[in-house]
Amino acid sequence: MTHRARALRIGLVWGLAVTTVLVAVPLALRERLPEPLATHWSGRPDGSMPLALFLALSAGLWLPAWGILLAALLRGRVLDHRSGRAQWWGLLAGIGVLPAGMSLVTLLANLDATSWREAAPLGPEFLVPVVAAVAAGAAAGYLGRGAPDVPREPGHAPPGLPLSPDRRVVWVSRVRNRLLLALSRTGMAAGAVVAALSLVMELPGPAASIAWWSLPLWLAGYATATVRVRVTAQGVAIGFGPLGWPARRIPMARIERARVEERFPAQVGGYGLRGLPGSATVMVRGGECLVLDYRSGGRLAISVDDAERGASLVNALVGVRA
């Protein structure tokens, strides 16, 4: 059995187990729980919600996350690299343990209480699921990391490109991630609706703050779902988003050389703008990337189609100028 088939099988069984804990256990204990049940504590219980909403929220947080992990396994090449395997297994375990643990702690505190205000006080116990989730994630990531990666060739040099002073040569390319585009549009719309609602009414739990804080993230996702790259004698210009703005311009004088490398989201920590300045990656989709090595020692990688021709032109222009 391949690693992927095994991961799929374990992922399915684990996901069903977590779903059972989230849905079946509260339903089985229904007779011994107050209605509504306490769901928020500040030492003593100070917030409540009906059992149905509690079930919907727990399942609503877990099921999409589980679905995304399984989809990533089926569609992507997430298990091809050690960092990808470690992240996938770690997330699968951690994201499962967290809601299951939270749900169990909540149920335990509510068990046999006559009303939600009578629920047992909760102090630092609520940290137990968090610690357990982190520990489970770390352990699963470690166990699932598999064999070390076969060292790849450090990016191949593109073919040379002859330039002559009476010719103007430019390279234009773009790349888009349809899934990220659709996801960030939906997320932005949903976040904006919830954020707007939170201005006029009281929303349960942390919904409002999650919505507000998620907006910049969706916006960042939207802005990095499309990238256009342009190489001219002046330098390399990278335009983000459907409007090509914001844009980043790198003068030719800063670039030492360009090369082409295969990179995947699992290696650089996901999609979007990843890493710190000096070793950043603009990851729109896995695969062919244009890598610019700076004279200062840093580098910038951009996932873009037709990267080889772009790299050839950068090298030719850098050579001509030097």
Partner 1 sequence: MLLTLDLNDPRPLHEQVAAAIRRSIAEGSYGPGDRLPPARDLADALGINANTVLRALRELREEGVLEFRRGRGVSVASAVEGRVRLVMRARELLDEARRHGYSRDELIDLLKELP
Q: Greatest CA separation found in the chain?
A: 88
CB 250 to partner 1: min, Å = 15
Query: Amino acid letter at 6?
Result: R
Does position 173 interact with partner 1 (CB under 8 A)? The reply is yes
Residues with Cβ within 8 Å of 219's Cβ and at least 6 positions away in sequence, in order, are: 184, 188
Please, what's the b/e burial string for 97-109 (b: 16 or more CB within 10 A of its CB; e: otherwise)?
A: bbbbbbbbbbbeb
CB 237 to partner 1: min, Å = 8
Q: Which is nearer to partner 1, 80 or 305 (CB)?
A: 305
Candidate residues 54, 66, 88, 171; the one interacting with partner 1 per rule CB under 8 A: 171
How many residues line the site for partner 1 (CB under 8 A)?
20
Candidate residues 114, 148, 167, 199; the one interacting with partner 1 per rule CB under 8 A: 167
Task: Considering only the stretches 13-21, 55-63, 171-179, 264-272, report the one whose residues sit in contact with partner 1 under the rule CB under 8 A.
Answer: 171-179
Task: Considering only the stretches 42-50, 166-174, 199-207, 214-222, report the one whose residues sit in contact with partner 1 under the rule CB under 8 A.
Answer: 166-174
Does position 170 interact with partner 1 (CB under 8 A)? The reply is yes
Distance CA 108, CA 44 (A): 14
* Nearest Cα to Cα of residue 47 among 55, 38, 56: 38
Does position 194 interact with partner 1 (CB under 8 A)? The reply is no
CB 177 to partner 1: min, Å = 14
Query: Amino acid letter at 9?
Result: R
Candidate residues 172, 189, 190, 196; the one interacting with partner 1 per rule CB under 8 A: 172
Distance CA 293, CA 309 (A): 16
CB 171 to partner 1: min, Å = 5
Q: How many other C-beta atoms are found inside a 10 Å radius of the C-beta of residue 41?
A: 19
Candidate residues 230, 259, 274, 299; the one interacting with partner 1 per rule CB under 8 A: 230
Contact present, 79 and 72 (Cβ < 8 Å):
no
| Structural element, H or E, at residue 291 | strand 287-294
CB 163 to partner 1: min, Å = 9
CB 173 to partner 1: min, Å = 6
210-229: contacts with partner 1 (CB under 8 A): 228
Does position 251 interact with partner 1 (CB under 8 A)? The reply is no
Distance CA 59, CA 196 (A): 24
Assign residue 172 a region: left if phi > 0, alpha if psi is -120 to 50, beta otherwise?
Answer: beta
Does position 288 interact with partner 1 (CB under 8 A)? The reply is no
Does position 168 interact with partner 1 (CB under 8 A)? The reply is yes
Radius of gyration of the chain (CA): 25
CB 262 to partner 1: min, Å = 18
Q: How far is CA 250 from the centre of its chain?
A: 27
Interacting residues with partner 1 (CB under 8 A): 161, 166-174, 228, 230-232, 244, 306, 309-310, 312-313
